[in-house]
Amino acid sequence: MRKKIIAGNWKMNLTPDQASTLVRETWEEIQGIDGVDVVVCPPFICIPTVREILDEYSINMHLGAQNMHWEESGAYTGEISPVMLKFYGVSHVIIGHSERRQYFGETDQAVNRKVLSALSHDLTPIMCVGESLKERDDGHTKDVVVAQVKRGLFEVMKDVVRRVVIAYEPIWAIGTGKAASAEDAQEVASLIREVLSEIYDEDTSREIRIQYGGSVSPENISDFMSMPDIDGALVGGASIKSESYATLVRLA
Ligand code: PGA
């Protein structure tokens, strides 16, 4: 049985004081719910504050980051390393989000280095893949997603790949209010599982968690969660309000 996983990607939103309020308010509403991994991925500068709040109130949420560099230290101005994330008890890290690919030139090769580095530092990578609207319209969704999965997982060994979470996020659905249909998302998720079973084997592919992301809301989460190959959601907009995030967790 794959455990459900809901991850909130706050993107470049909220200051440390707002982060602290959001985490406490969300926790008040979801305490006692188990069977789902709840992850919050604040901006780097909020991570120390969120860590404190999680510890102080014994909050059972995982702390995630939205990105990291693959090196442990060095001359990489403006970057954050896996060692720094570990210092604050970060356990998850989003890698290769489409906004990083689009605005910061992240390639599949960079994504692969980061995935390998995250795994070697005992961090759970949430590796994002997904097609643009043009790629979908041109009928290339499958090729694009398959290539991203294969390149992102290049040289990731079978014994550790089970820890990877794959987030299928069609770019056109992100932040637009136009989510994919649950059926379309399921089709791609099942394709991803096929690719995983080709690269590794069927047992391994059945253990890897796949999320859907892109305009997930309290209104549509149940449709996604009822799909056989979708194990959770990567949520942007609906994760920065305690009420909607708590509802998503509850429904999941
Ligand atoms: P959204 O963002 O939920 O606001 O569409 C999802 C994401 O970018 O991870």
Can you give the residue ranges of every domain in the chain? 4-251
- Which of 214, 133, 232 has the alpha carbon at shortest distance from 173? 214
Q: Running DSSP on this structure, what letter comes out for residue 167?
A: E
Span from the CA of 233 to the centroid of ligand 1 (angstroms): 9
Nearest alpha carbon, ligand 1 atom 7: 236
Nearest alpha carbon, ligand 1 atom 1: 236
Could you give the residue numbers annotated as active site? Answer: 97, 169
Nearest alpha carbon, ligand 1 atom 2: 236
pLDDT tens digits, one per residue of 17-49: 999 999 999 999 999 999 999 999 999 999 999
Check residue 169 and give its pLDDT: 98
Q: Are strands 165-168 and 4-9 parallel, antiparallel or unpaired?
A: unpaired
Q: Which atom of ligand 1 is found nearest the CA of 11?
A: 8
Crossing angle of the two packed helices 242-251 and 16-30, in degrees rounded to 10 = 40
Q: Which of 235, 239, 240, 245 best tests ligand 1's pocket when mutated (most atoms within 8 Å of CB)?
A: 235
Domain 4-251 matching CATH 3.40.50.300: the answer reads no
- Looking at the predicted structure, is the pLDDT value of residue 1 above 90? no
Check residue 122 and give its pLDDT: 98
pLDDT tens digits, one per residue of 192-226: 999 999 999 999 999 999 999 999 999 999 999 99
Distance CA 201, CA 249 (A): 31
Pocket of ligand 1 (CB under 6 A): 9, 169, 174-175, 213-216, 234-238
Q: What is the CB-side half-sphere exposure of residue 158 using CA atoms within 13 A?
A: 11
Distance CA 104, CA 190 (A): 29
Of all residues in the chain, the percent with pLDDT exceeding 70 is 100
Span from the CA of 234 to the centroid of ligand 1 (angstroms): 7
Structure tokens at 160: 């550790």
